[in-house]
Structures are given as C-alpha cells and as structure tokens.
Amino acid sequence: MTLKAVVNNVAKMPASTDAVVDIQKLSLTFQTADGPVYALSDVDLTIERGDFVSFIGPSGCGKTTLLRVIADLEKATGGDISINGVSAQEARENRAYGYVFQAPALLPWRTIERNVTLPLEIMEISKEERIRRGHEALKLVELNGFEKKFPWQLSGGMQQRASIARALSFDADLLLMDEPFGALDEIVRDHLNEQLLKLWARTNKTVAFVTHSIPEAVYLSSKIVVMSPRPGRIIDVIKTDFPKDRGLDIRETPEFLEVAHRVREGLRAGHSYDE
Amino acid sequence: MKQVTGTHSVKLDKFCLVAATAALLSLIFPLTGIDAETGKQIAFVGDIPGLAIAMALCVIVGAAFTWLGVGKIQYAAIILAVAVFGCWQAVTALYDHGLAGHATSGFWLFILSLWAFVWRGIDVVARYRSLETAKQQSANILVPIAFGIWLLFVWEVIVAGFGVPQVLLPAPSAIGVRFINSTDTLAADFYQTFIKAVISGYVIGCGSAFIVAIAVDRVPFLKRGLLPLGNMVSALPIIGVAPIMVMWFGFDWQSKAAVIVIMTFFPMLVNTVTGLNAAGKLEKDLMATYASGYWSTLLRLRLPAAMPFIFNALKINSTLALIGAIVAEFFGTPIVGMGFRISTEVGRMNVDMVWAEIALAALAGTAFYGAVAFAERKATSWHPSFRVRRH
C-alpha cells in the first residue's frame, strides 16, 4: 500500500483504530412461515487492516450469513456495521471488496479473460487498462496463458482460481471468501491455500475467509473466529502468530496443534450448549 | 458385423439375405399383369436386359454379403452402389418398357430387395465413426440425403407402378417438372408471401414481444396484467383472426404480417420473460457485489443467460410465421402469393402446382429454421448442448 493510500484511509476513518470491518451488537433474524430464524445474534467483531480472519463453525452457524452482511448481500436487523468507516451499502457501492463464492460463478459465455475483467467492465474502465489488469490478476493465480479459454474448458480448481483473479482484478483492499475451496480435493486445496497465503503476504490485503476445516483455518489465519449455531454467535476469537510466509510444514508443529486443539474445544463447547 | 468363424454357428446378415432371396424370386415371378387386348403379359424379364442384370446382381451381391456381413464402410458403399443401379433400372423399366400402371409381384419383390440393401447400407453409414472430421461430416450429411432420395424413389415407384391418378398424388418427377417450368410464378409467390409478409411479420412480432418482455420484467403489474392477456390473444384461432386482419389492413401483405405478429408475439414474450429469470442467484449476487446497475446486469448477465430461451422462441416462430402467412392468404390477397396459389390451383385440379408450392414452402421453411438454428449455434456456442472442445 502506498503512503498516500494509508494517509487517505486514516483521514477517512473516524475511529482511532485501523479497523476495516467494525461490527457491534449485530443481529439478523429471518422471518419465515415457521416463525423467526435467528441467524446471527449479538455479534461483536473488529477486523484490522492486513488481518486474515477465518470464520469457522458447523453448518448453520451463520458464518456465511455474517460474510454476506459484511458484503451487503443481506441486511442486518439490529446492531451496527461499518466498513472502512462507512455503511455496508456505501462500501458495496464504492466497490470496497472482492467476493469469492463457494462456486466459481464464472459466466459460461465469457472467456476467462473477459470473466476476470467483468468487474472492470462494469466500472467502465478503458479496454487497454482492463486487459492489463486482467493479465496481472491471472498471473497472481498462475493462470496466465488461459485467457482465451472458456470456463468449462478448465478444471474445478482452475475455475476457482479464475474467480479469485476476478475478485483481485479491481484491487479492492478487502477480500471476502466464502468456503472457496470447499468443493475441491485435498491436494488442490493445499496448493491453493499456499498460493492464497503468498498472495496475502505480497499484497497486504485484508481477508475474511469462511471455512469448516480446522486445519485450513489455523494454517491460513492471523485471527480465527469460532462460531456456534442457533442463534449464530461468536464463542471464541483466537489470534495466531505464525509468520506471514509460513509453509505447509507448520502444520506438524506443536504450536499449530495447540491452536487447532483450542479451535476444536471451542466448536465442541458450542455444540454441547446447543444440544 | 464381424464374421463368426465358429464350427456350428455362422451369423448371417439378415438384410442381405432378404435382398438376395427377394431378388431371386423377382426373376421368377411375373413382372407385369396381362394386357386386356392381347391377353399376353406386357413385358418379361428377358425383354429388359438392364433390369435382368440388376436383379441378378442383387442376387449375387446379396448372397455374398449374407456370408461376409456388412462390417466395413466399403462394403456398405458396394451395396448402396448396387441399390442405386437397381433403382435406375427399375425407373427405366417403368417408363420405357411399359411397366407403369401394370407392375405386379416380380417388380415389387425387386423393390423389396432394393429396400433391404438401402436399409442396411444407410444403417452402416449412420453408425460410421471417424476421428477425421471431414470423413465424419460427409457420413453425417450422406445419411439424411440418401434417406430422402430413397423416399422420393419409393414415392415415384409406387405412384407409377400402381398407376395412381395424378389428382390424388402426382409423382415427384411430375412435381419437379412443374416446379422447374413455373419458376417465375413461384418466385413471385415467394417474394409476396415470404419476403414481404413472413419476414416483416416475424421481425415485428418477435421484436415487439422482446421489448414488451423487458418491460414486463421491469414492471411487476404488467407481469400480472399483460401475461394472461397475451395468453388469450395467442389462443385466438387464426382462421377467425385472418379475415378481420384483411378487413383492417387490406388485401396486401400487411394483413398477413398482422396475422403473423399475433401468432408469434406470445411464444416470444413468454420465452423471453422466462429466460430473463434464468440467471442464477449466485450470479445475481456476484453482480450486486460489483454494484452493477439494472441495465448493466441486464446486458451482461440476464440477456446472455436468456439467449437459449429466446432462440427457442425464434425457432418455433420461424415455422409458425410461414403457416400463418399461407393460411391468411386464403382469406383474400392480390393475385399472387403461396397461399393464394394453393387455394386457386386446387380449384382448377392442378394438383402438381399445389405440390410445387408445398415443396417451395418446405424449402423456405427449412432454410428459415436452419438460418435461425445456425445463428443460435453462433450466439450460444457456450451452452452445454453446443460445446465444442477447443483445446
């Protein structure tokens, strides 16, 4: 990040902290025919600049819903949320974040290049600039050379990488990822995790990452948010201090296993409370 | 089919067996009926050397391939070549040797033999698989062409052999002759009905339905109010609407275009509205994360996703439009047009002209449909049903 950008961001920020996402007493209730469903209740969370935050918890704990609230794809029914000091809706309209969904969601009628540059096209950026940035984004996910292919000509892992490149193409500082590697096999997943970490270390982006894999959460994160279901709430926030350029081998260290243990304990506690 | 070299079971090719047997019998059974005046048979196999050779050839080739099987494409080529020679000789015998109207069992057994050969030959070509695109494509084209020619041949032979009166069913050759001799009339009719009425009605009908579909999609009350109404309009019988349109818009092509607009509007409207809802929730969320506006999302996501539905309607309408124009011309036209020609020539018992118009309509309709289908292939080549590997 350039110095000017930092100064700008600080100037924009009303709070003294360097918080990208600031959530206070957030709750979300869906009204259904069977009565209200409490998807999120009383969530307090701060995501600092440069954090890699993982949300982990069993299905239905509201981790995806929380990410969608941050992205302004769902509206909170109570509490406050601010992104870069403004409301979630304003942040979305400012294109403050790139979102990676569970499925690649590439448009089948567009080539990989035109998929990756789709957000730039919507932002009405010139064609030369789009092509340049598209190339850069594809290079970041090691997909250069596949520009003219169609999505269905690529493997599942490559498609998901293309969707990450699309989220990176317009250089938003915040990256929201909803179980992006959930449908991929273990080996591809490890590889993409490594690449994601490298990317994070290189670009100093802020990442919010939803997963239900404990090793993935511990390996990737600087902060792990453990959640429990019905109503979705945060039961533990664990900070890790692995170096940014960690390798896959840290997964065998005692520190790693200790953190993983604490996450598992948290998840178990959340479950016993529920039953 | 491979030859089985077992000691007790040899697999025979049934179709070739039928062909050989039928050809052998055709040499024995009488070729024609008895002439009422002379009391003698009109023609013998011995009098027609070409036909005799063709029959003998069918016996030999049929017997050979009964044992060999038609496993290779080259074998299929041989039996098809024999069949073509046989068809030629059969037609010659009909028209040059007086068999027309008098053919009996010997002749029809020979046709049965040819049928067995053609069936087997086309079957082998249809199952032909080659990695070379050019060879595969020629095989793919050959099948419908060969099948079409065979149907025309059967039609010709039945009409000529049984001496069917021309008013009931003219032979394809007679229709062809009439077609070639009346190209001026046909061209004028085609211009009036197809170029003027069908194309303009189709464009106006599909175009207005497309625009209304986007409005319906944007404005919820239109969806509730207009869709049922459109449904009602499409249910109106064309026979009832056409004379009213003639009163409103006059005798010329405008009234036919109006009928086509009524016929094509609803299929296009419904398909486009459905297509606009075809984009998935995930993709819509994706566009929302880029704060993409209504028109941007429409252009970049919803219309491309709707394309398969829209082309479906365009294909349905391409055939509906021609039917509509021809039927509407029964209710008053200037003295030109395909529908006008059909209705007047039927009255004059010029059935071959009616058939020539039908052939023209079939050609025009097929070409129109083909053009729309081709455009669909180009526009939605990404769709799973058209995907071509381009590694």
How many beta carbons lie within 10 A of that of residue A117, not counting itself?
A: 29
Per-residue pLDDT, B31: 82
B202 and B147 belong to one structural domain: no
Residues of chain B found within 8 Å of residue A120, distances taken between Cβ atoms? none
Task: Dump strand ranges (E) for chain A.
Answer: 19-32, 35-48, 52-56, 78-83, 97-100, 174-178, 206-211, 223-228, 233-239
- Closest residue in chain A to residue B285, using alpha carbons only: A73
- CB contact burial B107-120 (16+ within 10 A = b; e otherwise): bbbbbbbbbbbbbb
The reply to whether residue B290 touches residue A122, judged by beta carbons under 8 angstroms, is: yes
Q: How far is A28 from chain B (nearest CA, A)?
A: 19
Per-residue pLDDT, A90: 86
Per-residue pLDDT, B388: 59
B253 and B125 belong to one structural domain: no
Show the domain range for B128: 14-164
The reply to whether residue A107 touches residue B292, judged by beta carbons under 8 angstroms, is: no
Whether A123 contacts chain B with CB within 8 A: yes
- What secondary structure does DSSP assign to B231-254, as a single string? HHHHHS-HHHHHHHHHHHH-SSHH
Per-residue pLDDT, B101: 83
B205 and B328 belong to one structural domain: yes
Q: How far is A67 from chain B (nearest CA, A)?
A: 12
Q: Is residue B384 part of a domain?
A: no
- Closest residue in chain B to residue A93, using alpha carbons only: B291
Residues of chain A found within 8 Å of residue B292, distances taken between Cβ atoms? 122
- With bands split at pLDDT 50, 70 and 90, how would you rate the model's confidence at B40? confident
Rounded distance between C-alpha atoms, residue B81 and residue B78, angstroms? 5
Q: How many domains in chain B?
A: 2
Q: Which CATH number is correct for A3-96+175-183+205-274, 3.40.50.150, 3.40.640.10, 2.60.120.380, 3.40.50.300?
A: 3.40.50.300
Average pLDDT rounded to a whole number, residues B330-357: 89
- pLDDT of residue B362 exceeding 90: yes
Facing residue for B283 by CB, picked from A105, A152, A153: A105
Mean pLDDT over the full length of chain A: 83
Residue B98 identity? G
The reply to whether residue B286 touches residue A105, judged by beta carbons under 8 angstroms, is: yes
**A 72-101 residues with CB below 8 A of B?**
72-73, 92-95, 97-99, 101
pLDDT digits (tens, 9 = 90+) for A93-137: 888 888 999 888 999 999 999 999 999 999 888 899 899 989 988
The reply to whether residue A71 touches residue B289, judged by beta carbons under 8 angstroms, is: yes
Percent pLDDT > 90 in chain B is: 51
Please report the ipTM that was assigned to this predicted complex: 0.84
pLDDT digits (tens, 9 = 90+) for A223-275: 889 888 778 888 888 888 887 778 788 888 888 888 888 888 888 876 654 44
How many beta carbons lie within 10 A of that of residue A228, not counting itself?
A: 24
Among the three residues B164, B196, B219, which one is the final residue of a domain in this structure?
B164
pLDDT digits (tens, 9 = 90+) for B44-72: 777 888 888 999 999 999 999 888 888 88
Structure tokens at B30: 């009488």
Q: How far is B377 from chain A (nearest CA, A)?
A: 12
Per-residue pLDDT, A2: 45
- pLDDT of residue A163 exceeding 80: yes
Residues of chain B found within 8 Å of residue A97, distances taken between Cβ atoms? 289
The reply to whether residue A150 touches residue B382, judged by beta carbons under 8 angstroms, is: yes
Rounded distance between C-alpha atoms, residue B73 and residue B346, angstroms? 46
The reply to whether residue A95 touches residue B292, judged by beta carbons under 8 angstroms, is: no
Q: Is residue B387 part of a domain?
A: no
Q: What is the CATH number of the domain that holds B326?
A: 1.10.3720.10
Cis ω for the linkage preceding B172 (within 30 of 0) = no
Q: Is residue B114 part of a domain?
A: yes
B60 and B135 belong to one structural domain: yes
Q: Is residue B391 part of a domain?
A: no
- With bands split at pLDDT 50, 70 and 90, how would you rate the model's confidence at A12? very low
List chain A domain ranges: 3-96+175-183+205-274
The reply to whether residue B289 touches residue A107, judged by beta carbons under 8 angstroms, is: no
> How many CB pairs (< 8 A) connect A and B?
55
- With bands split at pLDDT 50, 70 and 90, how would you rate the model's confidence at B221? confident
The reply to whether residue B286 touches residue A93, judged by beta carbons under 8 angstroms, is: no
Per-residue pLDDT, A17: 55
pLDDT digits (tens, 9 = 90+) for A168-221: 888 888 889 998 888 778 887 888 888 888 888 888 889 999 988 888 888 888
Q: How far is A165 from chain B (nearest CA, A)?
A: 14
Chain B residues in contact with chain A using a Cβ-Cβ cutoff of 8 Å: 280, 282-283, 285-292, 296, 300-301, 304, 307, 380, 382-384, 387, 389-391
